[in-house]
Amino acid sequence: MVKNVLITGASSGIGRATTELLASKGYNIFAIARNEKRLDEISGANINTLSADIATEDGRQAIKEFVGSTHLDLLINNAGLMAPSGNLSNVDLARWRYQIGVNVEAPLFLTQNLLENLSGGRVLNITIYSSFHVRPGLAAYGTSKAALNMLTE
């Protein structure tokens, strides 16, 4: 039986590598990313792509509609935003809130939107080493990923 996997942040880095690996093993992939151009570079008969911003209600609703009634065996909340980075004394509030939206709120509310599709399925939230250990210049990113760790727990 073919397994269905939804991966956010699928157009680059860990998300793209995971998308390509699982697709090569026969999984049916729902690949989600904001960057439509990079997303279009990913191809395969079993890769379905959608450009959507998971930090917005509209983006999450578009993903829900894209998946439809398909059962998901796995949701990989991989999308992450590292900016703003740098000295906390210069952090812009709007950018900070958007980063929290992508890294913390989106995994929660996307998972919530897809609960019916995930019956018996699993959720994997991707975090990073700097969520446990301070790294200069990445306090905002580490803070958001630490929050995701607690949300996952």
Range of the domain at 131: 4-152
Query: 27, 98, 129, 141: which one is catalytic?
Result: 141
Question: Tens of pLDDT along 93-141?
Answer: 888 899 999 999 999 999 999 999 999 999 999 987 666 666 777 777 8
Neighbour count for residue 26 (Cβ, 10 Å): 9
The CATH number given to whatever domain includes residue 66 is 3.40.50.720
Domain count, the chain: 1
pTM for the whole thing? 0.92
- In the residue annotation, 141 being an active-site residue is answered as yes
Specify the pLDDT at position 131: 63
End-to-end C-alpha distance for the chain, whole angstroms: 30
What one-character DSSP code corresponds to residue 51? E
